[in-house]
Amino acid sequence: MNLLDSHDTIRAVVYTGETLRLLDQRRLPFEEIHLDCHSAVDVAEAIRNLVVRGAPAIGIAAAWGVVLEARNLAAAGQAVSAQTLEPVLAHLNAARPTAVNLAWALARMRGVLVRAPQDTVMALTTEAQSIQDEDLAANRRMGQLGAGLISAGSGVLTHCNTGSLATAGFGTALGVIRAGVAAGKIAQVYAGETRPWLQGARLTMWELARDRIPAKLIADSAAAHLMKSGAVQWVIVGADRVAANGDTANKIGTYQLAIAARHHGVKFMVVAPASTVDMATLDGSHIEIELRDATELLSVAGKRTVIEGAEAWNPVFDITPASLIDALVTECGVIEQPDARCMREVFSLASHAPT
């Protein structure tokens, strides 16, 4: 096993041929428990309840959810068609509204149904596997491209979880970090804790420790102070949706990191597959920001920490303007200082807009 492969040992979404096996990310880092989904309803619930999370992984899981439902229909002697599966597609699509990969993956599965192949179940299975395989290949490619921007000896800060847990494997922003560490470019990794679900503390630190990548956890509120110290040369984050002008929706807290990075002369990199680019959305103001239950913010690990009667506002994502992004890395290449013109040159509406 080479050094790069030793930093890529986790697979959180696995189709067994009978079920979709998901590593329950709510239980990490102390319990590694897998849940088996038997239907699209099971998959939609897993997506909604954050058993599986991360934009690419959500899309992959949804594609396999369609396969499971097609198998169930076929086993019951019912027709497997665009008509019979459309309610399933709609149910899966409603599970998380912000991550464009979900709609994108389901559009690909719908395209298979529209073509009406002779063996629909097999065709859907092949398409879902392609979506998963393409994501892993894209992550490897993005890792190389992003690492190429980093100078030797750099410190990097990341936010939320963008690794193998959030993708088919290797990761987006964490894939760049994995490739950068393997190439000797990155001397130190810092991970923000990422309240309220602590994806950075629970998941990113788990991935980095498991793959023997030295990292330090910081409180979200320590990020600007860390940048001021000179310990960080790059902030590297993922994305749940990239608009046509380069504005980016990502985990809440990303926007303030971009502002702090610009103030301190720290470079800011967004790493996301082309499936996350939504050329049908003009700019960030048109991206729906998901609001989750306020109790997530009023509690830690299910234990309330705030006085009864208190209220909370709990947006899951924020929008980072393209003007604060130094590099957008996709498998299609690197876009420096992204704007609407650069985005049009790389991405076509027909290829990347969800339907």
Element spanning 208, H or E: helix 205-210
CA dist 137 to 41, 125, 269, 276, Å?
29, 18, 20, 15
Q: Is 326 a catalytic residue?
A: no
Residues 309-335 have a mean pLDDT of: 96
pTM summary value? 0.86
Question: Given this model, what pLDDT does residue 251 score?
Answer: 95
Active-site residue, from 8, 135, 211, 240: 240
Average per-residue pLDDT in the chain? 92
Cβ atoms 338, 325 nearer than 8 A: yes
Q: What is the pLDDT of residues 270-298, one digit of tens each?
A: 999 998 899 999 999 999 998 989 998 99
**H or E element at residue 318:** strand 317-320
Could you tell me what percent of the chain has a pLDDT over 90? Answer: 83
Cα–Cα dist 61/266, whole Å: 35
DSSP assignment of 249-297 equals EEETTHHHHHHHHHHHT-EEEEE--GGGB-TTS-SGGGSPPPB--THHH
Alpha carbon separation from 257 to 121, 176, 225, 299 (Å, rounded): 45, 18, 11, 24
For residue 192, which of 156, 158, 230, 162 has the smallest C-alpha distance?
A: 158
Q: How far apart are CA 63 and CA 50, in angstroms?
A: 17
Domains of the chain (ranges; CATH) run 3-138 (1.20.120.420), 142-352 (3.40.50.10470)
According to the model, what pLDDT value does residue 301 have?
Answer: 74
Residue with tokens 């750099």: 154
